Structures are given as structure tokens and as C-alpha cells.
Structure 1
Amino acid sequence: MPLRPVAALAAACTLALLGPSAAAAVALTPLPQSVRESEGSLALPGRFAIAWTGCREPMLERAAERFQRDLGRLTGVETFAAAGPRLEIACAAADPGALSLEAREAYRLQVTGEGVKLDADGPIGVLRGLATLRQLIETGPDGAAALPAVAIDDRPRFAWRGVTIDTARHFMSIETLRRQIDAMEQVKLNVLHLHLSDNEAFRVESRRYPRLHEVAGHGQFYTQAQIRDLIAYAADRGVRVVPEFDVPGHARAMTLAYPELASNPAGAPAAGAQVLNPASEAAYRFVTRLFDEMAGLFPDAYFHIGGDEVGDDAWAGDPQVEALMKTEGLTTKAQVEAHFHRRIHQALTRRGKIVVGWEEIIDTGTLPRDIVVQAWRTSNATARATALGHRTIVSAGYYLDLLNTAQFHYGFDPLDTSAAGMSPADADAARKLHPLVGRFVTDGVVVQPMAPLTPEQEALVLGGEAPIWAELVTDEMLDNRLWPRAAALAERFWSPREVRDTGDMYARLAVQQDRLRRLGLQDQAARARMASRLAPGASEPLLVLLDLVGPVRNMAHDKRVPAAIAGKKIVQNLTAMADAAPVDSLAARAFLARAERAASGEAAARAAVRADFEVWNANHRRVVAIAQDHPAVREALPISADIAEMAAVGLLALDALETGKPLAPETAARAKVVLDRADAFEAASARPIFSFFGKRPPADLIIMVTPGVRRLVEAAGG
């Protein structure tokens, strides 16, 4: 069996998935380090007969039983209670560092006609191998399940592969968090970073400071028992839970519960202030005792203290802070922050914790090198933090709440420098738009020319983490907003750096998303529920439309920001079409693949695309009909009409391709109008700051099938 490099496997997967032999493809996400393919397969008529050697512990027993249950969910075959082939699991040794950066995650997997052998370096490696084995399961036309004959040798590229979920802006139920952990296990993500406090709320029961959850929890918080259960649930799936309690800024929830903790400049009311008082010994006692309690609740070695976005005028005019600065010889606001961070670092270090903070902490002055920096505004911060000797987690380029495509995020590597952020020209233009905008467009968000990381700096990059901030994400929306893009980033963090083929990634991503749905992901169900609210009893045309569109990018859908710029305050209900739309429609991606093949002359693809266009045309008529009785649908009518117009010109383009005659000039001009309009609407939200001011499309919806239609029109001479 010759070794098949990952790049070659990727090409093979693309050809198989985009062509007629999709059922035969081995579509793995993330791609393993190496795969050897052989002729033949292993029939899977029932549950595996598992034989263990080496380490065997209760966590692995539970993992094996969970895997057995998943077989039926993946295949739909009820006979999975029957006896099946042999699965030999060899775990080399118990791993004291199983839930740490030192976890032994490497595994080898071999499938032959005789059975399956899984050889892992440690218990977590067993979990990773079982995740890959789930992905190998195929069902034929007759419903029979089988595994292809393969040999896989695999290990992660980075030790830290995570997602950040914000529970402060919108509360996420335990059930919803468990679903995300289930999906994380399947794609080998291993860190769940929970953002548990902010200006909006404090979400964990505190027995030392009960007003935090009683007052600032607003009736939605996690009990300590729920947290312990969630941590155990995640640990069983090889996922660490890292808590974040943001200080000294983003602390309005804390000061709402305990106003005496707040900075009090010029006698302003302390209740509801966003920043803790760095000159108050009471504030230090509070944070130290609270973090001591939370450190006992969350066993992970890493503890995130936030440290971001403390305004330049946060403590201006506070007489206590002025006295502190005089006493300690501090001359700048940044030095005051550094003083605060050092005190908190000392308290957490005594508790045995490793402190993590957002990138702003390295701007405050000299801090202990053992503080881990999370780079978020640009990848410049990765270069700066590692140059100072800090281990670094990269989130720059991975903000899923900005509603960019998987392709966008997939293009950034954790080791890139100067790869994510605003250009200097964009920053200058943004500062001129409005004084409020200028406050947020600091040098920290501007990409600067940076040298590539040295080998020593690369060794300090722990991995990557994809945040999903919840200003515009509810519990109902989380599955839709997080997946499948998080799976694409799981590959970026696990697979070799040279795995960069976007087309292949999308081909495998579609297969993986369907697997996640069979295992419990609720993105489709939530979308159907949201559509049913918009048009009760008549939601099916909306579901067809939602497959073809996506929400505007970046912050363009946040109606609160332009309202704030205008001096108003609004509450945005997240129940609109744009809230239900998939961020990166895999149906639209599949259409683009069909359109490419149709433009290249494939007859079957042309027939399929023609059928697509006929459906779009008919669906617009249905959307028009239901809009008469359902006002919430009317805002999207211009978008549906433009899709119908694209279908009309697309049909003419297909006719031109089939007859060999170019498109008539008037048809080409007609196509240009609708396609250019769609592109202009998408471009208006392509950059974060300017997304507030660009011309918003109707219903805040981008037409995602535009590239495929344009490809056909151009091929037809338009």
C-alpha cells in the first residue's frame, strides 16, 4: 500500500465529492497527517466486538459505548445491536497530562477486511482515533454499512485548538453547550473557552459573592453543580473547559452587584460602572477571593482574566487612582493596568493557575512571561507577544461572530504575521467617518509590516481559538453560527500547514456537517423553527430561499451600532431572516461546484443547474404569495426577486452554452445589472468598520449563489 500524501488525498476527495462517485469518497475533517488507501472494505453489520490492550480506564469504557451508540445514528441501521467485526484498541499508556497541553493525542488506525486496529499513545489518542473511525463509516445504496480499507497515522499540529463561547451577552443553556462539545469531539477541537462575565451579566453561581448571580445573573446562570457536570462531560470527550472572568474592564455586572468595587471618577455614580477600581484594596480582596473560588470550581491549569478594552479615560479624575499613581510612581493609565494585572497574577499563581489575557495586557508594561497572551485584533499581536517571550493563542482572523465565510477564516494560519486587521488607509478613512468610530480604530487594529516568526517564536504559539461573541447570537442560533465553520478551523489547527485547498475543504465540510447533524447538531432544526415563526404554515419557501443567501458580514447586521452613533438606544430582536440564514451556505457552495462543471461542458451538471434555476424561479412566486399574509417576509422580497432574475439569465446562459451561440447583448447587460448589484451589496459589509456605513441589502441578506451564476454567464460570453 503506497503512502498517499495529504495533498494527494485532498485532491482525490475533491474529485470524488464533486463528481458522481461521492458515495465512495473518504472525506475526513480534519485531514490526517497521512493516509494509505487499499482495495476492499470491511462490512459493518453490527456493533464492534472490542478487544482492549494497554491502559483501560472508565473514561475509555464510556467513550467506547458512546461510539457504539453513534454507529446506529450514523447509519440508521437498526441491526447495530448485532455482532459485528473486531475492533482492537491498544492504548500505550495512561496519561497524567491527558487534559493538558501535553496530552498524548497521536494515534494509528488500520482498517482491513479482517477488522480494525486502533493504536494510540494515550487515552486522548483513543478518542481522536474513534472520531476518525466514525468519519470513515459509509452506507451503500442498499443501506449496508462498511469501512474502506485504510491505514492512517495522525497527530495534531497544535496542542491548543479551541472555540470561545460568550455566555454573558446571551445565555447558552447547558444542553446547547453539550451539543457544541459533542461536535468538538468529532473534529478534534479540545478547548472550550467560556466567557462567563462581562458588562451584561455574570453567569456562574458564587457562594462567596451571591449577589453576582442573584443580581447580575438576571435569572440565567450556571449553578456550581452544573459547571462540574459540564466539565466532566467535556473531559469525557477530550475537551478542556477554560473559564474567563473579565477584569478590570468589561466589569459592569460585577459593579452592578457590588457598586463599591467600581472606579468613581469625579464623583460619578459607581453602580453600573464598567471598570474596577485598581486603587481599592476591597476590589483586590473581592477579585482574589472570587477567583480563588472559581479556580477551585474549574480544574484546568489555565484561567483567563480578560484584560481587554480598558478605555484611555477609564480612571481619569478618580482621586483614589491619582493617589495610587503618586504612591507607586505610576505615570500612565497603562502602568495602572499593569499594576492591577500583577496583583491578580500573583493571586492566581499562588492558586496554581496559569494566567491568560487578551493581547492588550502586553501593552500595559512588563509582565511575567508565564502569562499567556491571546491575540485577537491582528496577527501582529502574535509577533509582538512571542517576541516578548509569551506563549500565545491566536484568535486574529478567527472571529466567527463577524459572519465571514469558512474560506476567509481558513486562509489564516496561526503562524502568519500581518495577516488579519485593517490597512493603514482603511484606518485613516474610518477615523474620519464619525468620532465614535475613531475611538475604536486604534493602532492596535491596524496591520503593520511584520517579519515572519522565528523558529523560537513559532514554538511559543500554542495554537488557535475561534471566538463567537454573542451580541447577535442567541442560544437558538449557536449551532448555526458556530458550525460548520468551526470544523474548517479545526482542520487549520490540526492538519499540516500545507493543507490549504479551499475547494477540497468545502467538499469534505459538507459531508462532515451532515455527520454532525446525524449525531445531534441542531442547526437545520433551529433554522426551520425560525422560518416557521416568520411564516407559520407556509415556511417551506423560506427554507429554500435561506439556502441561497447569508447574513451581511462583519457588524453590518448590528442595528444597535448605527443607532448609538445617532444618539439612540434600541433592542434588536434576533428573529429576522438574516438571523436564520446560514453564514456560509453549503448549498450555495455545492451550486458553485455544479456551475463550474456546467460551464466546462458537463452535460449532467448542466441538467442539474437548469433544475436549480427552475426551482428558484418557482420559489420566488411562492415567496411573493406568502408575503401577502406574513409581513416579516416582505423585506426579503427584493432579494428573492434578484435570485429569480439570476435564474432567468442563468437559463439563457445555459441555452447559449448548449447551442454554442454567445449571449445576446441585451441579456448580458441584464445579467450584469443583477450580478453587480448583488456584488455591491456584499462588498458593502466586506470590511468591519465600513459595514456600518455601506448600503445595506434588503433584509440584511447577501445572495450566496452569485459567483456560480456569474461563472455561467461569463462562460456563455456575457
Structure 2
Amino acid sequence: MRKHHLLGAILLCGGLFSCSSEVIQQANYEIIPLPQEIKISTGNFVLNDRTSIVYPKGNDEMQQNANLLATYIRQMSGKKLKVIDEQITSNVITLTTGLNTDNAEAYQLKVTPDNIIIRGASEAGTFYGIQTLRKSLPATNKGDISLPGVEINDYPRFSYRGVHLDVSRHFFPIDSIKRFIDMMALHNINRLHWHLTDDQGWRIEIKKRPELTTIGSKRSATVIGHNSGEYDDVPYSGFYTQDEAKDIVRYAQERHITVIPEIDLPGHMQAALAAYPELGCTGGPYEVWKMWGVSEDVLCAGNDKTLLFIEDVLSEMVDIFPSEYIHVGGDECPKIRWEKCPKCQARIKELRLKADKNHTAEQKLQSYIINYAEQFLNGKGRRIIGWEEILEGGLAPNATVMSWRGIEGGIEAVKHKHDAIMTPSLFLYFDYYQTMDTDNEPPAIGGYVPLEKVYSYKPVPQTLTSEEAKYIVGVQANLWTEYIPTYSQVEYMELPRMAALSEVQWTMPEKKDYADFLKRLPGLITIYDLNYYNYAKHIFQVKSQYIPDTKANILNVVLSTIDNAPIYYTLDGNEPTAGSNVYTDTLRINQSCTLKAITIRPNGTSTVLKEEVKFNKATMKPVTMLQPINEKYKFEGKNTLIDGLAGSRNYRTGRWIAFYQNDLEAVIDLQQETPISKAWVRTYAEIGEEILDLRELSVAISNDGKGYKEIKSEVYPVASKEDRNGIYTHELSFDTVQAHYVKIIARPEYDIPTWHWGKGRPAFIFVDEIGLE
């Protein structure tokens, strides 16, 4: 494959073109998502004002494709091309179908000196060829454009390429949804999972149940921050009429995108219960929920009126949305009300549901509700998708599973020969922070999913056989909007992570390379700029990598930029300028300092990268773990404890490592006898997520690394309701001793107290640093 320069247009002089005042800029096929095959050939096609776009006569879908291509070319080049259905042979872009392949979304794009032919296996395949041509063009309003001869043969890896948008917590108008669909089309994404209902608001008109919108779409206020207990007292409302929803469906269909609606049941239904309190186990009264989280009030599974309600709602959803799939949620349905509800218990008895070692009777009752919804939809020629909790209590016969808590749900589904769509939160939740510098970000739910982590995701677990892997039909990223009140922020959270997602979904894994992806990304960002998309610009900042060297006792710091722009840095805390040190090679840090770095480009200076590095006697010393780090939160492993870098109030950034069902037990090799009089560990508590603080800390010393003498320990109180989330430093001071090896043991809470919803289970502890002084 011949490489082309990405960041600047190429001026051609000599050969086919002569030097003149007319600027000829060149197309570049190294785009996102990267096509499966690019074969450069001889000759060039010149796109000029006389070029025509031809589509097959009588094919309305291809006419729409052609009109969209004309719009894209005008945006990129300023050229207004004719769209015709007359067959011509030169200076023409011909759109056609008939490509002989089993993949309906495949296409071939051929460029010769006379013409460009985009041939799809279907109209959708042709559309993706159009997107490739669009993204290959330079952005210019001067002169003609040269497209090198090429044959591109391309097809998507996955048939289901989705993004999810929650409009229940915050509502976005129709124009915004259409703009979101246009973003999807740019990234070759073909499924919009539209989350329309939840505890905090019902957003779709159901004509047979008008109170769902007259009451259920309105909440009286919204909680401030992360369920602070304080509310803004500002009424909030909004919903889509059925005609508006159908308009969205049409708009998406024109861009070969299927809209899959979600009506989340039987949980996440408090907005519906506010409208129809008789559908709840207690009878209410209920209100549309003003806070975030999961309400314990759910549909009463023992009430026949609930089944009629499900039928009424799903009947109208089928009329609005022609998608094969209807999403029925099925996640996060607390069973507390069902356990005490006479009607639910009667239903359990009627159905002869019995608890077993894997499922409670109430979980099986949820399976009954999901099965009921599935059978109803199957009768109308539709299929259901549900979140992975629909596996609990037994999976509905034809259901497709969305695996969001990890990969385990997807694996279980395919083992039972059910299709699975992979959407794990640790890689594909775009409501999570995308940078460690959360102080300078809009509020988010938490988490940490930077661009590189999205790109690194491997949707097919290695444990699956080739036959089982066929049931992994797609990949999806999710955006929940509790902390996203504006559509502008939707774009900020999606872009450019959607670009990384698109390559995970489309490109075969052996062709993926993150460094190459970054080189191609500025070309796509040019289109973001043309559309005024509010994308996050972290990729243009200085990137840092910290590599502890415990043999030399130094921290190696590698700085880089996406485009190799010059980097200026300081180590004394002063703000860097163009007169500061120029970064040329790895920084070798062996003492406490404040690193600050910027890059300067013609269009301005980046934000400042700032990192505090703090040395103590344990920093950059060899560390041995005597008990394991939790695999899910291992990140960079044991050296995290001695790298001199502090974690923020976000435990998923990689600065914290976790211990679960065992102690933290670490030995620091000070490499020679060293006087110490204090030991400390820094922990993080997120009580609601079963991350509690320490119960015990001890320090022991040794001069041979074999026999240890404990010199200090302390036991801490059991966690209480009054404890707060945050970062804590636990210190043990003692008379000065000489030590070569120091053992630190930090004991977690093995029995979460009864006041906590996780009572009886072991808790996590998260630690970012061990210190010796």
C-alpha cells in the first residue's frame, strides 16, 4: 500500500499537470475507518466544475445517495456538481450497485483518468463508498482536485455498528438528533440505539396512553451534581410526537441508518408509574424521578394491567419504528418491591417459579416479563434486544444480548447460541471522562475512557471458538446523559472517540494500528471543523508517558504530540513558553519536581500539561507483590505504587490499582539499609461502588528479605453511613529504624456492613502510592 501525506495538500508540478496559477490539490485515501484494501494504480482523475454525478434511472435510494455526495463535495471543495441519471463515460462519478459479494454493505471504488465508479453490493454499500470518497478529498475552495488512480475494495467487519443516545435524562430537539445522525454517517455507523424512556422522563408519544407524555415527560426539578440531595427547582420536560419520530426514522434511512428504539422495562419505569400508578406494586403516588440512579419502583410483574400496558406501548413502537429490533431494556430492575408484593408472589406461585443456585424466583419473574414482551414482538415480526441482565432467570428464546458490564454477558450469550453486541462500559461508555484532567472538564458520571482505550478494544474474546465468534454481531458505544444537559456537550463527549469506535467496528483487526490512526485523524477533524462539530481537542495537547526504572531509580518521561509539533517544558513549576527547554528526548527524573509542557502551533498554544512528581524513599525502588492485584483494575501494575504520581478522584484513570478478596501485601527493596520513621499509603474511597477504606495497616522490616519484624500497625473503624468518598492518606509513625526491605500490608473490608446495599460482600481497596520517610 502506498502511503500519502495526510496533513497537507500536495501540489503537483510536472508530469500530467504543469505549474501554473491553478492549484491542484490531491486526494488521500488513508481515511477513517481505514478501508480493507487500497491498491494505487496509474493515472489521476481531475475533479472539476464540469464533473457530473450519475445514478441509475428510477432508483430513488441511489438518487438520494447522489444528492448527498453532491452536498459533501460542495462542502469539501465549493464545487456544485450536476446530479443526473443519464449514462456518460468521462469526467463522471458513477454510482451503481451489483457488486458480487456476500456482504451487503461492501463496495468497490475505482478511480481512472476518465471516471470514478462506486459500485456497492447494495445501495448502502454504495453509500459507504461515497463516505470514503468524501473523506479522501482535501478541504479547499480553490482549483481542481486530483484523485490518484486507485481500486479500493472494502467492507465492514461487523454488520451491527451502533451508537446509543439517551434522551430521557436530558432531551435534545429534532435538529440535534439529525445532526447526530449525520455524525454517525460520517463514521460508517449504521445503528442508532435511541433510549427514549427512563425513571427521569418518558420521551415518546403513545397515543393510547397519553398520560405518558402529559405527565411522564415532566419532572419538577433536577438534582444538582452527583445526587447531592439539592435540586434546581426548574421544571424539565420534552418529548417527540410520533410524526417527529417518523421524521427522524426517514432521515436516518436516507443515510442507511436504522433507528432502534428502547423502552426500558420492567425497571427504569418511574416516569411511567407517575402517569399510571396502578402499574406499580405499591400503587404510588409516584413522581417522575428528580435524581439519577435506579429507582426501586418498577412495573408490577403480577398485575395483568402491566401486560396490557406493555402491549399498548410496544404496538405503537412497532408502528413508528420499522427496525427489525426493538430494545426492551431489562437491566437494573431491583426486585425489592416484588419480594413483598402479593400480586408478584402470586404470579411466582402461579408460574411455579423456584429459586435455584443461579437465580432467585424474582429473577425468573423478570425473565417471564421479558419473554412476554418478546413473544408479543415476535408476533409482529420483530426481535428483541436487551441488556445483559436479561440473561438472569433464563434468556428469552430469540433475544440478542447487549453486554455492558464487561465481556462476560456476551460470552454467556454466544455460548447459548444467541447473538451478542459488545458494549462494555470500561471501553465504550462515552459519558465517562476522556482525560485525567477532570478539573478542567465538564462534569461527567466518572470513569475514564480516553481515545486510545476506545481504539484498543477487541470485541471478540479470545476464549471463543471461531464458530462461537460468529455470534458476536456488533459493537456499540453508549452515551448516558445524566451529566450532559446540552447537545453541544453530546458532540464533545462523542468526538473524536466516535472515530476510534468506527475503526473498531469496521476495520479488520490486523490492519488496525493506533499510531497510524492518529496520523489519519487530522483529515477527519477537518470535516469536523467544516461542520462546526464541538469535538474534544485533547489529542492536540502534549501527551505524556511515565515509565519507572527501578534499577536506576528514575522516572522516564516520554512526551509527544500527534503531529510532532515542538514541545517546550519546565521542571520548576514555571509556565513554559517558546523560550523554555525544547523537548528532544526522554526526560530522566530522579527528584521531586513539577513538570509543565506545551506545544506551540501556528494556530495557537496548547493547554498546559502539568504533573507533580513527588519522591520519597520508596519512589522508584523495586517492589514485589506478595498478594495479587485485582485483574480488572491492574492497569500498569505494581510500579503504580512507587512511581511518584498521584491519582485523582477518578479511580479508573490507571493511577490507582485495586485489591479485592485479598490484602495489599508489598515489599519495597530500598537497595541498602536506610533509616525510616514513617510509612504511609494513599487510598481512594467510592462507597456507593463498594470501594471502602482500609480496615488495617501494618509495616514490617527486614534486612535479608526473609524474616520480617512488625514495627507498627493500626486498625481503623468499620465504614459508616457518615463516611465520605475521597482520597485518604494513612500514616504510621515510629522510632527511626534501619531497614533494607519494608513490607506494607493494607487490609480491606472483607464484610461490607449491613447498612450498605452490598452488605456481606468483600470490598475493594484502591491504592495509588506507598511512601516511606
1:295 aligns with 2:318: yes
Report what 1:441 is aligned to: none
Structure-2 residue corresponding to 1:285: 308
Q: Is the 8 A contact 1:160 1:190 kept in 2?
A: yes
* Distance in 2, Cα, partners of 1:409 & 1:92: 35
Task: Tell whether the 8 Å contact from 1:356 to 1:374 is kept in structure 2 after alignment.
Answer: yes
How far residue 645 of structure 1 moved from its aligned partner, in angstroms, is 3.5
Q: Residues 551-602 of structure 1, C-alpha deviation per residue, up to 9 Å, x if partnerless?
A: xxxxxxxxxxxxxxxxxxxxxxxxxxxxxxx3x612126899xxxxx98999
Contact 1:88 1:116 in 2 (8 A): yes
User: Is 1:226 matched up with 2:244?
Assistant: yes
Q: Which amino acid is the alignment partner of residue 231 of structure 1?
A: V
Partner residue in 1 for 2:51: 48
Is the Cα–Cα contact under 8 Å of residues 203 and 217 in structure 1 kept in the other structure? yes
Are 1:205 and 2:134 counterparts?
A: no
Does 2:51 match 1:28? no
1:239 counterpart residue number: 257
Deviation readout 1:222-280 (Å, 9 max, x if unpaired): 1111111110100000100000000000001110111111122xx87556663000000
Displacement of 1:141 in angstroms is: 10
* Aligned counterpart, 1:671: 595
Code of the residue aligned with 1:385 in structure 2: it is A
Q: Which of residues 67, 72, 96 is equivalent to 1:90?
A: 96
Unaligned residue ranges in structure 2 (runs of 5+): 12-24, 85-89, 219-236, 289-295, 355-360, 434-448, 546-556, 597-609, 615-643, 659-683, 687-724, 729-773
Q: Which of these residues, 640, 654, 661, is aligned with residue 582 of structure 2?
A: 654
Change (3 A) 1:37 1:163: same
- In 2, are the aligned partners of 1:357 and 1:374 still within 8 Å (CA)? yes
Letter in 2 for 1:239: I
Distance in 1 between the 2:572 and 2:136 partners? 37
1:466 counterpart SS class: strand
Q: Does 1:385 align with 2:423?
A: no
CA distance in 2, matches of 1:143, 1:257: 61
Confirm or deny: 8 A CA contact 1:45 1:79 kept in the other structure: no
What CA RMSD, in Å, does the superposition of the two structures yield over aligned residues? Answer: 3.7
CA displacement at 1:670 relative to structure 2: 4.4
Aligned residue number for residue 68 of structure 1: 70
Q: For 1:206-233, what per-residue CA distance to the aligned partner results, in whole angstroms no more than 9, with x for missing partners?
A: 1100110111112411111111111010
Mapped to 2, the partners of 1:139 and 1:462 lie a distance apart of 35
Structure 1 distance, partners of 2:540, 2:79, is 30
Q: Please report how far the alpha carbon of residue 609 of structure 1 lies from its aligned counterpart in structure 2 after TM superposition.
A: 3.1
What SS does structure 1 have at the residue aligned with 2:148? Answer: strand
How far has the Cα of 1:468 moved from its partner? 0.5
Establish whether residue 105 from structure 1 lines up as the match of residue 63 from structure 2.
no
1:389–1:36 Cα change, 3 Å: same
Cα 1:271–1:135, aligned 2, differ >3 Å: closer, same or farther?
closer
- Structure 1 CA distance for aligned equivalents of residues 161 and 278 of structure 2: 39
Q: Separation in 2 of the partners of 1:462 and 1:166?
A: 22
Letter in 1 for 2:534: D
In structure 2, the CA distance between the partners of 1:18 and 1:123, relative to structure 1 (3 Å rule), is: closer
**Which whole-Å CA distance do the structure 1 matches of 2:263 and 2:526 have between them?**
35
> 2:404 and 2:301 mapped to 1: Cα distance?
24
Indicate the residue corresponding to 1:182 in structure 2: 182
Structure 2 partner of 1:348: 377
Residues 336/128 of structure 1: CA separation in 2 closer, same or farther (3 Å cut): same
3-state secondary structure, aligned to 2:189: coil
Question: SS at 1:471's partner residue?
Answer: coil
Whole-angstrom CA distance in 2 between matches of 1:600 and 1:476: 31
Deviation digits for residues 491-515 of structure 1 (CA, Å, limit 9, x no counterpart): 1111111133112112222321221
Give the conservation status (yes or no) of the 8 Å contact 2:572–2:595: no
Post-superposition offset of 1:685:
3.9
Label 1:217 to 1:92 Cα distance change in 2 as closer, same or farther (>3 A). Answer: same
> 1:663 and 1:294 mapped to 2: Cα distance?
61
Match of 1:501 in 2: 513
Q: Deviations over 1:401-444 (max 9, x none)?
A: 11211211111121026xxxxxxxxxxxxxxxxxxxxxxxxxxx
SS of 2:502's equivalent in the other structure is: helix
Q: What is aligned with 2:567? A: 609
Distance in 1 between residues matched to 2:368 and 2:260, nearest whole Å = 24
The one-letter code matched in structure 2 to 1:390 is H
- Higher percent of residues as strand: 2
Query: Which one has a larger percent helix, Structure 1 or Structure 2?
Result: 1
The correspondence of residues 546-561 of structure 1 with structure 2, limited to 5 A, is none
| Deviations 1:296-324 (CA, angstroms, capped at 9, x unpaired) | 11111100000001124241211111222
CA distance in 2, matches of 1:277, 1:141: 61
Q: Give 1 or 2 for the bigger CA radius of gyration.
A: 2
Q: How does 1:99-498 map to 2 (within 5 A)?
A: 104-138=104-138, 144-218=144-218, 219-264=237-282, 269=285, 274-331=297-354, 332-368=361-397, 370-396=398-424, 397-403=427-433, 404-416=449-461, 452-474=463-485, 475-498=487-510
Shift of 1:94: 13
Deviates most, 370-379 or 474-483:
474-483
Question: SS of the residue aligned with 1:135?
Answer: helix
Q: Residues 26 and 148 of structure 2 are in contact (CA less than 8 Å); yes or no, is this contact kept in structure 1?
A: no
Matched residue, 2:624: none
Paired residue for 2:574, among 634, 642, 645? Answer: 645
- Aligned residue for 1:119, secondary structure, equals strand
Query: What's the TM-score, normalizing by structure 1?
Result: 0.68
Once residues 652 and 525 of structure 2 are traced to their aligned partners in structure 1, the CA distance between those partners, rounded to angstroms, is 25
State the partner residue of 1:588: 541
* One-letter amino acid of the structure 2 residue matched with residue 45 of structure 1: N
Residue 366 to residue 305, structure 1, CA distance change in 2 (3 Å): closer
Q: Which amino acid aligns with 1:285?
A: L
Q: Which residue identity lines up with residue 394 of structure 2 in the other structure? A: G
Q: Which amino acid aligns with 2:488?
A: E
Q: In structure 2, do the counterparts of structure 1 residues 351 and 269 end up closer, same or farther at CA, with 3 Å as the change threshold?
A: same
The 1:208/1:110 distance shift into structure 2, 3 A limit, reads same
Q: Secondary structure at the match of 1:109?
A: strand
AA at the equivalent of 2:526: D
Compared with structure 1, are the counterparts of its residues 48 and 681 closer, same or farther at alpha carbon in structure 2 (3 Å cutoff)?
farther
CA distance, structure 2, for counterparts of residue 234 and residue 601 of structure 1: 39
1:680 Cα deviation after fit: 2.7
**Residues 347/385 of structure 1: CA separation in 2 closer, same or farther (3 Å cut):** same
- Structure 1: gaps spanning 5 or more residues: 96-101, 418-451, 525-581, 593-597, 618-641, 697-718
Which secondary structure does the structure 1 equivalent of 2:346 belong to? helix
Separation of aligned partners in 2, 1:324 and 1:87 = 63
| CA 140–318 in structure 1, closer or farther in 2 if over 3 Å, else same | closer
Deviation at 1:143, TM superposition (A): 5.1
Contact 1:136 1:148 in 2 (8 A): no
Structure 1 pair 78/36, CA: closer, same or farther in 2 (3 Å)?
A: closer
Percent identical residues: 25
Would you say how many aligned residue pairs link Structure 1 and Structure 2?
Answer: 541
SS of residue in 1 equivalent to 2:582: helix
Amino acid at match of 2:262: E
1:510 maps to which residue? 522
Deviation at 1:155, TM superposition (A): 0.7
